[in-house]
Amino acid sequence: MLVKGVFASIVLMIVFLTVTVRAQMAAVDKRVTVTSSGKTSSADSVPSEVTYIPKEKIAAAFAKGGALSEWSDGQLKYGVRIARHDKPELVEVHALKTHIFYVLEGSATYVTGGTVVDPKTTEPNEIRGSAIDGGEVHHLSKGDVFIVPKGVPHWTKDVESPIIIFTVNIP
């Protein structure tokens, strides 16, 4: 069981680092201007500092969920967050975001695919619904890794015990 958790952690870190490096490499390809003061400027903002997240912020995110780090320049480049679900949630469909989940604690039943019931656009490129008709049922529990590609409906249908998920969001 420990090996499974270590393996899943390594997979998540590789994916996260790959996405971060790709985003930063893409930014290097953009034109950078050096001003007379010696500072550089660019049309696109790129994180230029390492992100450190202290354990207190992680602990607070475990308690209620929340973003740990996100980078966007009008479009999501990446996001790292802790999701906590104590009860069923609305169906979500993200047109521009892929989720990579690593379950840290708890268990829940997720449904993916199928048809969204009562779909409503809540913001650009985001749809919510009350349920999924059809779809594939997945039982998630501690140690599982679950990848939901952009455009795929997904739903936290039932929560057996509060589920805490380390989430990486990429385009």
Give this prediction's pTM: 0.68
pLDDT of residue 39: 42
Share of the chain above pLDDT 70, in %: 69
| Domain housing 84 | 2-170
pLDDT of residue 37: 40
Amino acid residing at 106 = G
- Alpha-carbon gap, residue 64 to 60, rounded angstroms: 7
pLDDT in tens, 16-44: 545 544 444 444 433 333 333 444 444 45
pLDDT in tens, 63-99: 788 778 777 666 667 888 899 999 999 999 999 999 9
pLDDT of residue 90: 96
pLDDT band, residue 61 (cuts 50/70/90): confident
Q: Work out how many domains the chain is built from and give that number.
A: 1
pLDDT of residue 11: 52
CATH number for the domain including 32? 2.60.120.10
Do residues 159 and 86 lie in contact, with contact meaning Cβ atoms separated by under 8 Å? Answer: yes
